[in-house]
Amino acid sequence: MPVEVLPEMTIVWPKIVWRMRLLIDIDGVICEYNFPKIVKNFFGVDLSSHTIFAYDLADVLGVAPALINTMFKEQVYGPPNFIDGSLEMLKEWKSKGYEIYIFSNRVKYMGEVNLAKWLIDNKIPFNDIEVTGWGEYDYHIDDSPAKLAATDSKVKLLYTQPWNRRCLDIRKQFTRVNSWSEIKSIVGG
Ligand SMILES: [Mg+2]
């Protein structure tokens, strides 16, 4: 019986490129949120001996939210005060093809275009600005429990700050992180 020789075949599988998608807040995560300094500049009041106990500054200071909005509008354009290791990590992720989506309340004060300009001017790597947070993400890193809870991200990292220490996280959704080296150990890169 003749032996049938099958022609050599090369199966070309479509190359699936998996990219890590990261949703990242700015203030309180990438940059230090210097509430006392911002408040001192705007209201002339020294808060250094007080603890910022809540995320909403209007509640903390006992002033109208509109006034807080005005304060942030005037103060957000300054240079960033980076939290240790944040910028280096973002650069490393970007170089490895991780996708960085910025999700920040700054959009409210600056608008998307000015926020993008501020990010570029300050050499903060990013792919896009996320306004709603509705996309699918592997990780969401934020200091706002409310923002974290509202997204569909697989892993939600709560960056510890004085104003979120008392969050009860009753649905056990968050993993607390206290530094960018902890973030690196969880996310990798
Ligand atoms: Mg924040």
Which CATH number belongs to the domain containing residue 93 in this structure?
3.40.50.1000
As a whole number of angstroms, the distance between CA 7 and CA 27 comes to 61
Phi and psi for 73 in degrees, rounded to 5?
Answer: -55, -40
> What distance in angstroms lies between residue 25's CA and the mean position of ligand 1's atoms?
6
**Ion ligand 1 — residues with CB under 5 Å?**
25, 27-28, 143
> Are 57 and 68 spatial neighbours (Cβ–Cβ below 8 Å)?
yes
Domain membership flag for residue 2: no
* 83 Cα: distance to centroid of ligand 1 (angstroms): 12
Higher pLDDT, 85 or 52: 85
Q: How far is the CA of 133 from the centre of ligand 1 (A)?
A: 14
% of the chain at pLDDT higher than 90? 66
| Ligand 1 centroid distance, CA of 5 (Å) | 65
Task: Report the pLDDT value the prediction gives residue 5, as an integer from 0 to 100.
Answer: 66
Residue 161 lies in a domain: yes
State residue 103's pLDDT score.
98
Report if residue 15 sits inside a domain: no
Mean pLDDT for 93-116 is: 94
Domain that holds residue 161: 21-33+83-187
Average pLDDT, the chain: 90
Condensed to tens digits (0 to 9), the pLDDT of residues 126-178 reads: 999 999 999 999 999 999 999 999 999 999 999 999 889 999 999 999 999 99
**Domain contains 108:** yes
Burial 149-164 (b: 16+ CB within 10 A, else e): bebebeebbbbbbebb
Rounded mean pLDDT, 81-102:
97
Please give the distance, rounded to the nearest whole angstrom, from the Cα atom of residue 55 to the centre of ligand 1: 9
pLDDT in tens, 25-35: 999 999 987 77
User: Is residue 75 included in any domain, yes or no?
Assistant: no
Please give the distance, rounded to the nearest whole angstrom, from the Cα atom of residue 14 to the centre of ligand 1: 39
Q: What pLDDT is recorded for position 35?
A: 79
Please state the pTM of the whole predicted model: 0.84
The alpha carbon of 3 and the centre of ligand 1 are apart by a number of angstroms equal to 70
Number of domains the chain contains:
1
Is the predicted pLDDT of residue 102 greater than 70, yes or no? yes
- 113 is a domain residue: yes
134 lies in a domain? yes
In a domain, 14, yes or no: no
